[in-house]
Amino acid sequence: MTRFTRRNLIGASLAAAGAASAPAEAAAPPVARPAPSIYRYRVGTFEVTALYDGVWYRPIDEKFVRNADYADVRREMSDAFMPAEKLATPFTMLLVNTGAKLILLDTGTGGQIASTAGSFGENLTAAGIDPKTIDTIVISHFHPDHINGIKTKDNGLIFPNAEIMVPEAEWAFWNDDANLNAAPAGLKTAFHNVRRIFSDIAKDVTHYRPGRLVAPGIETIAAPGHTPGHTVFALQSGNDVLMVLSDTTQHPALFARHPDWQPQFDIDGGLAVATRKALLDRAVADRMLVTGYHFPFPACGHIIRRGTGYEHVPMLWQTSL
Ligand SMILES: [Zn+2]
C-alpha cells in the first residue's frame, strides 16, 4: 500500500508533470488579488457585518507571556500553525445596523500598524457602505489597532459624520500626563498615539460610562485588565445576544486554551485573567454567541470548556440571513 508522505506526493506530481509534454495554459488568468473579506449575520433584527482589516504577524520573544514558560508558548503557537516567534494578530471590526443607526465598534489599524493590515476601508466599500453614512463609532479601548482607523495618516477624519464614543475611564487613563511619564518606554508610544488621534477632536468626543446603553440594544460592560477602561459590548435584539469580547481573549488558540496566561499587552495581567474567565464562563453557561477582535475571521462563534481552559468553536459560515 502506498504511504502518502509529503515527499512521495511531491514526487508523484513531478512525474505527472513530466509525462505531459506541454502543460495546458489555464483558461483564465489568476485574479491575483484577495476576495473581499466580509461576513454578515443577524442578531435578532440587527444586521451585523464583520469586516476584516487583515492580520499582523507580531514579533514576540521570551518576555511575551509574563507567567508562562516560553517553550510552552512556542509549542502552543506551533500547534496553531503560527510562524516561529510571530503571533498571528488578525483584526475584525463589527458594523451593526440596528435598523435605526449604523454603529461601528472599533476602527482597525487605519493601515498604520503593519503592511499586512489596513484592508478595512476596501472591505467597507465592498460591503456597500459609505463611511459618511456611519452614525456612531464606539471604541472599546485606546490601543492603536482599535483607534487608528478613526483617522488617515494625515489626520483626516475617515467617518466625518460619526459621533465618537469612548469609555470614560480609558479617556482619563491615557490623557493623564502622570501616567504617560510613569509608563515604560514601549507603552509611551501608545500614549502619544492617543494624543495624535484625539487632541484636535477632543471637544467632539462623547465619554460613556460602562453599564449604560450606547444605543438601544447595545450595552457596554466594564472589562478592565487589558487596559484600565477596556470595555466589552452585549448586543441584544429580541431573544438573541452577541457578546463582543473586544480584547479580553486575544488569539483564542493561546488565551482561551490558557486563560491564566498574562501577555505583556495586558496592562494589569491578574485583573485581565479574572475578567477573561468571568466573561468566558458566562459565554459557556449561556451558550452565547461571541466575537473577539483578534479571533480568526469572521471572528464569531461559541466558547466551550476544554481541559483546563476553553476552546473557540467557529460559527458555520451561512449564505442566507
Ligand atoms: Zn487589540
Q: 251 C-alpha vs ligand 1 centroid, how far in Å?
A: 10
Measured CA to CA, the distance from residue 102 to residue 204 in angstroms comes to 18
Given a cut of 90, whether residue 9 has pLDDT beyond it is no
Given a cut of 90, whether residue 24 has pLDDT beyond it is no
In order of start, what are the domains of the chain with their CATH numbers? 35-314 (3.60.15.10)
Task: State which H helix or E strand residue 65 sits in.
Answer: none
Measured CA to CA, the distance from residue 108 to residue 173 in angstroms comes to 21
In the structure, what pLDDT confidence band is assigned to residue 222 with cuts at 50, 70 and 90? Answer: very high
Q: 201 C-alpha vs ligand 1 centroid, how far in Å?
A: 22
Q: Between β-strands 300-306 and 309-314, what pairing exists: parallel, antiparallel or unpaired?
A: antiparallel
Q: 269 C-alpha vs ligand 1 centroid, how far in Å?
A: 15
Q: 304 C-alpha vs ligand 1 centroid, how far in Å?
A: 23
Q: 120 C-alpha vs ligand 1 centroid, how far in Å?
A: 15
Pick the closest to residue 226 from 255, 192, 202 (CA basis): 255
- pLDDT tens per residue, range 248-278: 999 999 999 999 999 999 999 999 999 999 9
The predicted pLDDT at position 321 comes to 85
Given a cut of 80, whether residue 12 has pLDDT beyond it is no
- pLDDT tens per residue, range 272-301: 999 999 999 999 999 999 999 999 999 999
Q: For residue 103, give the C-alpha cell.
A: 454603529
Q: 28 C-alpha vs ligand 1 centroid, how far in Å?
A: 39
Identify the DSSP state of 217: T
Beta bridge partners of 276: none
Least confident of 8-22, 87-101, 111-125, 237-251: 8-22
Pick the closest to residue 235 from 257, 262, 216 (CA basis): 216
The predicted pLDDT at position 13 comes to 56
**How many residues are there in the chain?**
321
Q: 178 C-alpha vs ligand 1 centroid, how far in Å?
A: 24
The predicted pLDDT at position 25 comes to 74
The predicted pLDDT at position 115 comes to 87
Q: 162 C-alpha vs ligand 1 centroid, how far in Å?
A: 21
Torsion from C-alpha of 282, 285, 290, 293, nearest 10 degrees? 40
Q: 23 C-alpha vs ligand 1 centroid, how far in Å?
A: 47
The predicted pLDDT at position 10 comes to 58
Q: Residue 203, SS3? A: helix
Measured CA to CA, the distance from residue 60 to residue 24 in angstroms comes to 45
* Residues at Cβ < 5 Å from ligand 1 ion: 143, 145, 247
Q: 27 C-alpha vs ligand 1 centroid, how far in Å?
A: 43
Measured CA to CA, the distance from residue 41 to residue 321 in angstroms comes to 6
Cell numbers 444605543: residue: 215
In the structure, what pLDDT confidence band is assigned to residue 313 with cuts at 50, 70 and 90? Answer: very high
